[in-house]
Structure formats: C-alpha cells, structure tokens
Structure 1
Amino acid sequence: MPEWLRPPATGYTADDLDRLRDLPPHTEVLFGGLVFSARQTTFHARTTSRLDQQLADQVPDGWEVCCRMGLKLDTRNRPEPDVMVVDARADTGPDQTFWLARDVLLAVEVVEEASAERDREVKPRKYATAGIRHFWRVECDEGRPVVHVYELDPATRSYGLAGIYHKQLKVDRPFPVEIDLT
C-alpha cells in the first residue's frame, strides 16, 4: 500500500506532496488533508485552456501564466488553482513544483460540481488570507463561462466582488484584460 494511505497524526504538510510517491495527479493539501481531483469536464478543460491562452497573450512583461500547478499558501495548505498569473522572477527552474503565495498576482478557479464548495468557499478564503490580490471564479451558465472577479481588501484580508462578466470580460486590474466569453 502507498504510504499516503496512512496519514500522519498531525496531518500532511505542503512539502509532503514533493516526497510522497504514487499520488494521483493534481493532488492538493488543504487543512493538512490530501484532496484528490475529480475527472475533468469538457467545460472545465476548454475554459481553463482558453483562459490560459488569452491571459498569456495579454500578461505584462515580468509575469507568466501557469495552469494547474501547486500554490504553497502555508505549511498545511497547497491547493492547485486552475490558472495563475505569477511573477516570472520567482521561477526556480524546471524542477519547481509550486509557487509561493507572495509571487501570485491572480488565482483562477473554474468551478465543477465535484469541487464547487472548495472553489467557491474554501479556496477563496485561503487565497485572501495568504494575500493574493486578485481572484477569479468561473462558473458554467448554460455551457458558457461567467467570470466573477474579486479584489483583495488588505484591511480585512477578504475579497470584495469587483464584477460579474457574462459575454465579455474586460477589466483593467490586475492588468488590462479583454476576453470574449461567448
């Protein structure tokens, strides 16, 4: 049996993901527990891919876009946002397995039924507490993406809704972005 089937009494750490063998792809650590990804839907795959491409075309110099890579928030939390915009200077090389919260400008979660509670409630709170300035939550509405844009209130360390976009996402923060959502 793989060793990860028997969790330590104190729970897993964010660093355990790099040492545990044979974990399923895209395993996360939240609250010290392992979280496994459900199968991806076509909506999720297409939306994530399109956001990745569109953001990569519009991201300012010095930043880069990453999909489904670890984000170390603290010792007991290492989620894997669907898309992130990260500081390119924080790249430590080809063996890097995660980004640190301080290096993330934008985290994006594309909501699926299996992960809806985590994507809508748990992860946004954790991203805000870690100081990630911008968060987008993408929902499916009749097969089309709807983007909920949030900005961090540094005084409360929580997100405030900055807008909901149905047909076209056009924002100037965290940098100018324009994406056709149809």
Structure 2
Amino acid sequence: MAVEPLPDWAIPPAGGFTIEKFLSLRGLPKHTELIDGSLVFASPQRKWHRQAIDFLQRELDLQAPPQLRADREMAVKL
C-alpha cells in the first residue's frame, strides 16, 4: 500500500506561517485558523452549540443595563 505524501501546509515554515502564506495555501480543511503562526483546525459548530450561544446572549441582553448589549466578542455600548 502506497502512502500519500503530506500536503505542503502540513509542515510549518521556520518561525510559523505568515498571513500572506496562510492566505495562499490551498487544500486546507474548512474552519482552519491562523493563531500565532500555527494552523489551528477548529470543528464546525453544531446546531445545539449555536442555540446555546444564542440563548446565553439573549439572557444577558435581558439582564444588562439599558446602555449595554451582549455580543459574542465583547460588550457593546450603545
């Protein structure tokens, strides 16, 4: 049985990937992220995960002061 060769992106360059190199890579799995020069392969969110986040965001909005709104990334001042 023959072993498939590794794709070019499987071995990072010395010092890690740059954004330019990352954006030029082809054949990466879906949901690949570049963090501190390394490729990170994140699993796609499942429906229950999105629903849980939506529920928590909605509940935080209900309890937040009127000038604040919940956001997935940070608090948003209105």
**1:24 aligns to 2:29 (yes or no):** yes
TM-score (structure 1 length as normaliser): 0.29
5 Å matches for 1:90-105?
Answer: none
SS of residue matched to 2:48: helix
The aligned amino acid for 1:5 is A
- Identify the structure with the greater strand proportion: 1
Instruction: Give aligned pairs, total.
Output: 64
**1:10 aligns to 2:15 (yes or no):** yes
Return structure 1 stretches of 4+ with deviation > 3 angstroms.
166-170, 172-175
**1:165 aligns to 2:60 (yes or no):** yes
Contact residue 31 and residue 44 of structure 2 kept, 8 A: no
Relative to structure 1, is the Cα distance of residues 12 and 145 closer, same or farther in structure 2, using a 3 angstrom cutoff? same
- Identify the structure with the greater helix proportion: 2
Out of 113, 121, 146, the position equivalent to 2:56 is 146
SS of residue matched to 2:55: strand
5 Å matches for 1:31-180?
Answer: 31-46=36-51, 140=52, 145-147=55-57, 165=60, 167=62, 171=68, 173-175=76-78
The aligned amino acid for 1:14 is I
TM-score (structure 2 length as normaliser): 0.59
Q: What is the CA RMSD across the aligned residues, in angstroms? A: 3.0
Q: Distance in 2 between matches of 1:146 and 1:45?
A: 10
Q: Distance in 2 between matches of 1:11 and 1:145?
A: 38
Which segments of 5 or more consecutive residues in structure 2 lack a partner in the other structure?
Answer: 1-5, 70-75
